[in-house]
Amino acid sequence: MGNRLLAALPASDLDLLRPELEMVALDQDAVISRAGDAIEYVFFPHSGAISLMIDMADGHTVAIAAVGREGAVGILSVLGPSSADNTAVVRAAGTAARIPASRFHTAFTRSPAIRHAVQIHVKAMLKQLQLGSACNALHPVEARMARWLLQLRDRVDHDVLPLTQQALSQILGVRRTTVTLLMRKLRAGGAIRSDRRGLIEIDPARLAAAACECHNVMHLEVEEMFATKSARSRAAAPPEDRRIPGIKSGGAM
């Protein structure tokens, strides 16, 4: 699997990034950027799942968005040197191509295609943030947990999610005891087939029935954006190989 934003770029525009891209491991539970720290790299996940977290002054946390191979982390550094507004935590291990933020900014200023890719990402993130805010205010926590499990499942493309109840507590901004009760209820309804230590096996169809409509809306919005981008690319240029050869290999995070 490759990152969809990078794969959508014409070869000539990707060439602006390729010399500086390096593949790195995204280790489970790793923090790849922390709120308040300077943004040093832009990460383009090829696999795995990342949650963007808001840290409250009282120690509570809550997830505001999920990022996988459809997006990037740190991409708003194109606006200039800045610090991260949230903390990015790896929820499912994978790999990513990363590039120094300064190098990405240089390519961004030279390439309309890269600027359009950033626009696609920003639109998708804004939709997540808008729907997520409404969902947190209007929908019960059980439906929100089902939505989050489905969002992460979309990105790992597997029905076994490497999540602890503590991680879900952090994502949802609720107590661990609340997560335990919700898991028990979802298991009774067949939406979760098993809950082994650190692993949650889900039934996607039954979990979708327990989730609010926000998951489907978010998913369809992202797919529609990429469909529009693909149609424009096909109209503008002949078919070409969208693989990304020549990316340097980096170390683990």
**Are residues 89 and 196 both part of a single domain?**
no
Q: Is the pTM of this model over 0.85?
A: yes
The CATH code of the domain that includes 44 is 2.60.120.10
pLDDT at 234: 46
Rounded to whole angstroms, the Cα distance separating 230 from 91 reads: 29
Number of domains into which the chain is organized: 2
- The residue with tokens 């990022």 is 67
pLDDT beyond 90 at 25: yes
Tell me, yes or no, whether 81 and 157 share the same domain. Answer: no
Give the mean pLDDT of 80-104: 92
Task: Find the mean pLDDT for residues 66-95.
Answer: 91
Distance (Å, rounded) from C-alpha 9 to C-alpha 21? 14
pLDDT given for residue 239 in this prediction: 46
Where does the pLDDT of residue 228 fall: very low under 50, low under 70, confident under 90, or very high at 90 and above? low
- Banded pLDDT at 238 (limits 50, 70, 90): very low
Label residue 251 by pLDDT band (50, 70, 90).
Answer: low
Query: Average pLDDT, stretch 60-74?
Result: 93
244 and 185 part of one domain: no
Q: Report CA-CA distances (Å) from 171 to 34, 85, 101.
A: 15, 16, 27
**Lowest mean pLDDT, pick from 50-64, 71-85, 200-214:** 71-85
Same domain flag for 184 and 245: no
- If asked whether residues 129 and 45 sit together in one domain, one would say yes
139-170 per-position pLDDT tens digit = 999 999 999 999 999 999 889 999 999 999 99
Say yes or no: 90 and 151 in one domain: no
Radius of gyration of the chain (CA): 18
Domain that holds residue 207: 140-211
Examine the pLDDT at 116 and tell me if it is beyond 80: yes
* Together in a domain, 156 and 171: yes
pLDDT score of 243 more than 80: no
Q: Is the pLDDT of residue 1 over 50?
A: no
Specify the pLDDT at position 166. 92
Residue 12 has pLDDT above 70, yes or no: yes
User: 103 with 224, same domain?
Assistant: yes
Mean pLDDT over 48-57 rounds to 93
Q: Which whole-number Å values give the CA distances from 39 to 58, 124, 193, 200, 227, in the listed order?
A: 24, 20, 40, 32, 30
